[in-house]
């Protein structure tokens, strides 16, 4: 839950941000020849930068070199890793550069972006707070501690006003490390990063492909893209829509649904067919759910999962997806593998081709063997 004291400090700014925020009318792009798709990053900037370089989207200075390419980052930039701020700063730098070159950077909203804006900090890495700390952080934290004391005295919890002794202060500081205050101010919807997040889309269509973080469940089978995007942005700004009031937490909504990634294909097939028909696309690309240590095709390639699972002791392959002239290609350890998965046999062959790029024991090889045995 968002800290009440911090919310009070920024409430007026949040209202201003809601009134001043630009409207995103566009959720569809056609005629795009090259799309680079990167799944969940979870605070790993080195991984992100490597993917940008391997895909040819940036030059040696880190500036946009992708021409008219579109970069789609599927959300879940923050949490579990220390370098979300560096990733977001780089994306913000690339956005105008790409537009000037005729390309585009799509930073989609995932469930962890929404959690950070709303103050759900369960998965925030300590390094995230440290990235915001500066020489004035100690003073800011002390000011916030005194504000917290005043708030608790004026609004005592059911257990009563706590004793503000050294032990209480130590526990409080442990829960609010240096940089915590700055992190929260930046991630509030009125803040530098919160406002940036709330200016983006959750669901987009490029050519014949639908992109989102999680997926869409049955209750969202006929939900228009623009309506969902407006609902997500409005909810982040504290103004839930009447049509989708719980879209930020709804387990069938675009930030959370896992059915396309986890459910048995036969059971999910009719729902997938309905989604593809409603949005007039041939495939859906998602992140959010870790199923394999590479890009994983399901439903004979009509769903592609880009959230990469890295088993313990296994080197991250920095796998991501390219769609060039309509053809999907996995880049795994810098090598290209066409996603020719229009049948079960071709899916197995694709996994075997990816496994051949791994040295020694390959978890992808285990998937390929299991696939062939089905």
- State mean pLDDT over 275-290: 98
- State mean pLDDT over 293-313: 96
pLDDT at 17: 42
Beta-carbon count within 10 A of 291 CB: 16
Q: What percent of the chain has pLDDT over 70?
A: 93
pLDDT at 54: 98
- State mean pLDDT over 152-159: 94
Q: Are 37 and 322 in contact (CB under 8 A)?
A: yes
- State mean pLDDT over 222-231: 97
Phi (first) and psi of residue 160, to 5 degrees: 95, 170
**Residue 191, exposed/middle/buried by CB under 10 A (0-12, 13-18, 19+)?**
buried
Q: How confident is the model at residue 14 (pLDDT cuts 50, 70, 90)?
A: very low
pLDDT at 25: 65
> Taking CA 254 as the corner, what is the angle to CA 248 and CA 255, rounded to the nearest 5 degrees?
50
Residue among 252, 250, 221, 328 at smallest CA distance from 285: 328
Q: Are 287 and 215 in contact (CB under 8 A)?
A: no
pLDDT at 2: 42
- State mean pLDDT over 79-86: 96
Q: How confident is the model at residue 21 (pLDDT cuts 50, 70, 90)?
A: very low
pLDDT at 12: 44
Mean pLDDT of the chain: 93
User: Would the pLDDT of 20 be above 60?
Assistant: no
Q: Which residues contact 243 (CB under 8 A, 6 or more apart)?
A: 227, 231
pTM value is 0.92
């Amino acid at each position: 839950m968002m800290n009440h004291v911090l919310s009070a400090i920024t409430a007026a700014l949040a209202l201003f941000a809601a009134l001043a925020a630009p409207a995103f009318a566009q959720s569809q792009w056609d005629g795009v020849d090259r799309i680079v798709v990167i799944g969940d990053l979870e605070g790993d900037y080195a991984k992100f930068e490597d993917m940008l370089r391997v895909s040819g989207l940036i030059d040696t200075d880190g500036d946009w070199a992708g021409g008219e390419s579109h970069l789609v980052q599927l959300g879940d930039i923050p949490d579990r890793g220390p370098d979300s701020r560096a990733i977001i700063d780089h994306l913000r730098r690339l956005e105008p550069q790409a537009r000037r070159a005729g390309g585009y950077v799509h930073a989609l909203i995932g469930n962890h972006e929404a959690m950070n804006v709303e103050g759900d900090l369960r998965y925030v890495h300590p390094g995230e707070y440290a990235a915001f700390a500066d020489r004035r952080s100690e003073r800011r934290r002390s000011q916030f501690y005194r504000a917290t004391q005043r708030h608790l005295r004026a609004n005592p919890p059911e257990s009563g006003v706590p004793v503000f002794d050294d032990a209480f202060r130590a526990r409080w500081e442990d829960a609010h490390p240096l940089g915590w205050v700055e992190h929260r101010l930046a991630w509030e919807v009125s803040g530098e990063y919160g406002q940036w997040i709330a200016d983006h889309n959750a669901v987009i269509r490029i050519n014949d492909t639908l992109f989102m973080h999680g997926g869409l469940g049955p209750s969202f089978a006929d939900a228009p893209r623009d309506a969902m995007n407006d609902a997500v942005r409005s909810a982040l700004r504290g103004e839930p829509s009447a049509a989708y009031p719980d879209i930020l937490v709804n387990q069938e909504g675009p930030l959370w649904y896992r059915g396309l990634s986890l459910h048995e294909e036969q059971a999910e097939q009719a729902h997938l067919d309905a989604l593809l028909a409603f949005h007039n696309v041939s495939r859906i690309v998602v992140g959010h759910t870790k199923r394999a240590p590479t890009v994983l095709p399901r439903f004979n390639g009509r769903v592609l999962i880009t959230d990469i699972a890295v088993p313990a002791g296994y080197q991250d392959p920095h796998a991501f997806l390219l769609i060039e002239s309509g053809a999907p290609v996995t880049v795994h350890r810098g090598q290209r593998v066409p996603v020719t998965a229009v049948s079960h046999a071709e899916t197995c062959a694709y996994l075997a081709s990816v496994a051949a790029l791994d040295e020694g024991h390959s978890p992808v090889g285990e998937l390929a063997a299991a696939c062939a045995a089905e």
